[in-house]
Structure 1
Amino acid sequence: MALINLRSLGVTLGAPLFSNLNLSIEPGDRLGIVAANGRGKSTLLRAISGGFEPTAGDITRSRGLRVGYVEQDVPAKLLDATLYDAVLQALPADQVDSESWRVDVVLGELDVPEELRERQLSRLSGGWQRLVLLARVWVTEPDVLLLDEPTNHLDLARIGQLEGWLNALPRDVPVVICSHDRAFLDAVTNRTLFLRPENSQAFSLPYSRAREALDGIDASDARRFEKDMKTAQQLRRQAAKLNNIGINSGSDLLVVKTKQLKERAERIEDSARPAHLERSAGSIKLANRGTHAKVLVTLDDAPVTTPDGTPLFRTGKLWVRQGDRIVLLGRNGTGKTRLVNMLRRAIAQPDVAVDGIKATPSLVLGYGDQGLSDLADKDRPLEVLTRRFELGEQRARTLLAGAGMTVDMQSNPIGRLSGGQKARLGMLVLRLTNPNFYLLDEPTNHLDIDGQETLEAELLKHEASCLLVSHDRSFVRATGNRFWKIEKRRLVEVESPEGFFADVARNGA
């Protein structure tokens, strides 16, 4: 029996986010919702939770149903609270004294260390803050759980922990998840909804298998669209011939027939609009200016240390060659970011010696970090492009439009952009830098699945040489052709990332 029913549901905010959506949520469902950035996933969750009124259609819920909605961001009023108190405050006031034990149970289920429980939320990492939001909802014992981008800011160990926790939940509690993490969706879902402005598609399959089924439907739609458009063109050609004959002969019958053919062609063209083609969230393109050098970077047993000089690991003798797409694997705190920063200095400042690292002088660096710190919130996209590159205003506006930014967005502070829009701006800046070596730290953060797949395709298409750090397992598998792993204070090359992924899943952080 369905706990929640959506009938002919639609939301229009300037343009339709989705329309005529029919969906039921039943006990045992693990439903993944997939859509491009800004296409209505969070809005749909808010509507299901009762926090947003849809433009059209109805939502019915079983009597007394408790819906738990885990949003993406921590409310500002909670940042000064301790982790424990933030969860305790989620209980009804009359249960705080008598039911506080439930907080300990939930924090225990989520493996929250004792030393973190009395720490202020503002002093916790984004990953721990995400788990606090989940704990605040779960402690209220909801009948349905809604999760909005739950893996944002989580490292691989925490993602694996979350997967295990979700898969261990009572089967009668349905879970609805909005996420861009393809591997995560495959691990925890049994149904998938592809949310679209028109003709959303639902499958009783996890993401990857559902995507294959969707691609088959879309390919069939595309073939039907091409056939219908050819038919419409033939009708228009016939109408043009009859129109000429009718004019020359003065036949009213032929004029009427011409009008009928044109109207029929218009009806076919209107109905043949390919539903699978969505409005683009903005293109992602990379560049590779190339280099004649075969060896781009040499690591000669470089020592990697903490800022205070504490040894973390040594690199041994390794080389980065042209065409390498190296993925750097390692647990949190092992020194991945330190090595990335050392490589960045060695390439960007060749006159400054970096112990044990030598970069070829012809390298032009394209660097992107997960926080997009190179893009200040107070700057404006148009100013960033015209200031950094030799571009006229019109050319800069055209490039920004291609990256998904309207005229208003181009002149507003970057801080007002969504995470996905800011990520696409960062990729545009990288492209215009025209590098021949990329250093990318969590490049898929904030990118929707379309953006992730486009970035993968661009790296492969341009045979870009790069070193990547990423917690996105699908992205790592698709792009990497070499893998360096930090273990036992050494940097070693391994054949694949799968052993590392399995070890993290088994043993956590």
Structure 2
Amino acid sequence: MILMQGKGLSKSYGVDKIFENIDFVVKEGEKVGLVGHNGAGKTTLFKCLTGSESFDNGEVMISNKYKVGYLEQIPDYEENISLMDSVMEMYSDIFALRDELRKLEKKMGQDGVNLDKIMQNYSDLSQKYEEMGGYSCEATARRIIKGLGFTDNDYTRDINKFSGGEKTRVSLARLLVREPDLLLLDEPTNHLDIEALEWLEGFLKNYSGAVLLISHDRYFLDAIVTKVYELSNQKIRSFPGNYSRYLILKEEQDLAQNKAFEKQQQKIAQTEEYIRKYKAGIKSKQARGRQKHLERLERIEGIQNEQSINLNFKDIGSTGEIVLKVNEIEMGFAEKSLFDDISFEMRKGDKVALIGANGTGKTTILKIIMGKLNPLKGSIDYGSRVSIGYFDQEHKDLHEEKQVIQELCDAFNMGEKEARNKLATILFQGDDVFKLVRDLSGGEKGRLALLKIILQSPNLLIMDEPTNHLDIPSKEIIENILVDFPGSLLVISHDRYFLDKVTNKTFELEKGSLKEYLGSYSYFKEKKLQLSEQAQKQELNKEIITKKIVKDQKPKINKSKIKEEIKIIEEKITEVEAEIKALGEKLADPESYQNEEKSKELVNDYKEAEENLPVLMARWEELLEILEESI
């Protein structure tokens, strides 16, 4: 069944058309990815869908029975609100219902006259409370908060002291706990480490509702989506399957459309030539007929290729066999140890991924290698003839007050014409070269920083999140540059698709130590899973052996005595269940609830019986378990 449908949607800013006359459909339970280059209009479409902006034309249809949730901008939180309180705010309607139930429970023992009506109301509200997830909302919130990478200590922290990335994860948690019928997610993987990314993947794959998401994370899209919408050149196209399937189908469609376009253009040219040749001669009538046909012809559009970055490394010097050695380094801040005794070496041609959860110290290791931080212990040795290029995710090597063209001219002592030519390779053209660095987007700063590195011709690249803020086409270009890079590479990235394509070794930083895997990210995951399964088997075997030893050492159990107690408890359970039923019937009897004193006594007896039953059941289950273990 269709959950959301858009028809004839258009949006412009002045004379700039963002998209025109687009249609889309999202069905119940469907997982849909929205892709396209930066500036194609994906976020604008989302803003219109959520009501923060309006469409110029068209309509969006969604039934009132469906709830839609979207990843909110970071809100202004009240003073001294904790992480847990912020997330639990999303259950305010459930807590209001919980308060109402508590009030009704009090009334049961106070108002004998209206007891029947109160109990019916209580029953109806209890059912609604259960359907809304009232009994499990705290557990759900904790599971989601934990999955997004927060620790137990974070539950009570003041949310206003969180970083921007942490606040984004809080917003994601607030959205996910209410499980709306349709989730609208704009770049939900931003600020997530790989562990949290994989948790979110699993959550969304098993999510019963529908999902419409914008993401530049191709690995994430591959794992989740079952349909892809591509927004490009003001139009939208639909492709079944995940991201990898989309790439195949898109190439086939583009090829077929360009062939049809070329064929039609050839036919149009022939027709126009015929009209020009015969419009004033004896065949003028036929020429006019062809002119009318040409005017009515539905034109096929050719596929427009997007502008692309054109960068490559040239003339880098050769290094010795050993490029880099990290020797027993240790680092910590404010009495907190990040890592201890970290050692590794990189050889010529190694392309290494450094991965690990946020806060484990990955960027710190890169800064120690670059000499920007001094370790508490240990040393760094560089190989023979090594020249390093460093890509800092915060772009601290760029000068905020300079113009883009000045940044290049001053750094490499080049003229304006040469600087313009270099900047054109990373899509800075015309007046763009006179922008101040501080006014650039994250992606533009990344492109400029990468160009400066390439112009240095390094043979060892140290890179911290080089694909952050880049759209998918730009990421693919960076990947191809680094795949062809003839030197060595050490890179931090949460982009698993990028790591699989570029790297041939994986270093995992976990709990203060480093472990090396001789393969890409996918190899690392497979190997880690194998090691985890082996450890689980060993733990299981150990547990079985321990249980056997404990069982052998246990004193003999008096089975007949246990069976006798089980029989007594079963009889008692039957009695209590009968008592509850009888009391319920009495409470429903008008004679009972018309007598206020008698109704209070019945309610107290009913509550006592209800409280006794689970205690008896728990003891019964405990005795059965003891009996089973003794067999």
- Give your verdict on TM over 0.5: yes
Letter in 2 for 1:287: F
Question: Against the structure 1 CA distance between its residues 235 and 426, is the aligned structure 2 distance closer, same or farther, given a 3 Å change threshold?
Answer: farther
2: CA distance between counterparts of 1:504 and 1:334? 21
Aligned residue in 1 for 2:366? 340
TM superposition shift of 1:47: 1.9
2: CA distance between counterparts of 1:337 and 1:396? 31
- After TM superposition, the structure 1 = structure 2 runs for residues 366-377 of structure 1, keeping only pairs within 5 Å, are 366-375=389-398, 377=400
TM superposition shift of 1:210: 1.8
Aligned pair 1:494/2:521, yes or no?
A: no
> 1:13-43 CA deviation, whole Å, 9 max, x = no partner?
3433222221111111111111111211111
| Residues 32 and 185 in structure 1, CA contact (< 8 A), matched pair in contact too | yes
Q: Which has the larger radius of gyration?
A: 2
Between stretches 95-104 and 105-114, larger displacement belongs to 95-104
1: CA distance between counterparts of 2:235 and 2:341? 54
| Residues 313 and 491 in structure 1, CA contact (< 8 A), matched pair in contact too | no
Aligned residue in 1 for 2:254? 218
Between stretches 78-87 and 451-460, larger displacement belongs to 78-87
2: CA distance between counterparts of 1:313 and 1:217? 54
TM superposition shift of 1:476: 0.6
| Residues 288 and 436 in structure 1, CA contact (< 8 A), matched pair in contact too | no
Aligned residue in 2 for 1:290? 316
1: CA distance between counterparts of 2:516 and 2:389? 25
| Residues 32 and 226 in structure 2, CA contact (< 8 A), matched pair in contact too | yes
Aligned residue in 2 for 1:116? 154
Aligned residue in 2 for 1:4? 4
| Residues 320 and 384 in structure 2, CA contact (< 8 A), matched pair in contact too | no
| Residues 329 and 500 in structure 1, CA contact (< 8 A), matched pair in contact too | no
Between stretches 31-40 and 464-473, larger displacement belongs to 464-473
1: CA distance between counterparts of 2:77 and 2:431? 31
Work out which of the residue numbers 475, 500, 509 in structure 2 matches 1:452.
Answer: 475
Aligned residue in 1 for 2:71? 70
TM superposition shift of 1:291: 1.1
| Residues 483 and 501 in structure 2, CA contact (< 8 A), matched pair in contact too | no
Work out which of the residue numbers 374, 387, 408 in structure 2 matches 1:385.
Answer: 408
Aligned pair 1:191/2:214, yes or no?
A: no
Between stretches 461-470 and 303-312, larger displacement belongs to 303-312
Aligned residue in 1 for 2:346? 319
Aligned residue in 1 for 2:26? 25
Taking only the aligned residue pairs, the percentage that are identical comes to: 28
TM superposition shift of 1:455: 0.6
| Residues 499 and 520 in structure 2, CA contact (< 8 A), matched pair in contact too | no
> 1:370-428 CA deviation, whole Å, 9 max, x = no partner?
23333355544233223323233344345445534465554444343333233223323
Aligned residue in 2 for 1:87? 87
Using structure 2 for the length normalisation, give the TM-score. 0.67
Between stretches 15-24 and 466-475, larger displacement belongs to 15-24
Work out which of the residue numbers 302, 307, 314 in structure 2 matches 1:274.
Answer: 302
Question: Against the structure 1 CA distance between its residues 53 and 402, is the aligned structure 2 distance closer, same or farther, given a 3 Å change threshold?
Answer: farther
2: CA distance between counterparts of 1:206 and 1:505? 27
| Residues 284 and 455 in structure 1, CA contact (< 8 A), matched pair in contact too | no
> 1:79-118 CA deviation, whole Å, 9 max, x = no partner?
97432343345566x7765569786344213125442122
TM superposition shift of 1:217: 0.9
Aligned pair 1:153/2:191, yes or no?
A: yes
Between stretches 363-372 and 77-86, larger displacement belongs to 77-86
- After TM superposition, the structure 1 = structure 2 runs for residues 91-240 of structure 1, keeping only pairs within 5 Å, are 104-110=138-144, 111=146, 112-140=150-178, 142-169=180-207, 171=208, 173-228=209-264
2: CA distance between counterparts of 1:269 and 1:434? 54
Question: What is the RMSD computed on CA atoms of the aligned residues?
Answer: 4.0
Aligned residue in 2 for 1:60? 61
Tell me, which stretches of 5 or more residues in structure 1 are unaligned? none
SS in 2 for 1:367: strand
> 1:224-261 CA deviation, whole Å, 9 max, x = no partner?
3444556667789x789x98xx9xxxx9549989x99x
Letter in 2 for 1:478: K
Aligned pair 1:329/2:363, yes or no?
A: no
Question: Against the structure 1 CA distance between its residues 469 and 256, is the aligned structure 2 distance closer, same or farther, given a 3 Å change threshold?
Answer: farther
Letter in 2 for 1:468: V
> 1:143-198 CA deviation, whole Å, 9 max, x = no partner?
321011000010001101111222232x2x21111101111111121111111224
Aligned residue in 2 for 1:476? 499
2: CA distance between counterparts of 1:45 and 1:228? 36
Question: Against the structure 1 CA distance between its residues 411 and 137, is the aligned structure 2 distance closer, same or farther, given a 3 Å change threshold?
Answer: same
Between stretches 333-342 and 148-157, larger displacement belongs to 333-342
| Residues 409 and 416 in structure 2, CA contact (< 8 A), matched pair in contact too | yes
1: CA distance between counterparts of 2:405 and 2:6? 42
| Residues 284 and 428 in structure 1, CA contact (< 8 A), matched pair in contact too | no
SS in 2 for 1:195: strand
How many residue pairs get matched?
487
1: CA distance between counterparts of 2:54 and 2:230? 21
2: CA distance between counterparts of 1:26 and 1:397? 49
Between stretches 311-320 and 358-367, larger displacement belongs to 311-320
Aligned residue in 1 for 2:332? 306
Letter in 2 for 1:283: I
Work out which of the residue numbers 431, 434, 454 in structure 2 matches 1:431.
Answer: 454
SS in 1 for 2:6: strand
SS in 2 for 1:345: coil
SS in 2 for 1:438: strand
TM superposition shift of 1:297: 1.8
SS in 2 for 1:200: strand
| Residues 88 and 138 in structure 2, CA contact (< 8 A), matched pair in contact too | no
Greater fraction helix: 2
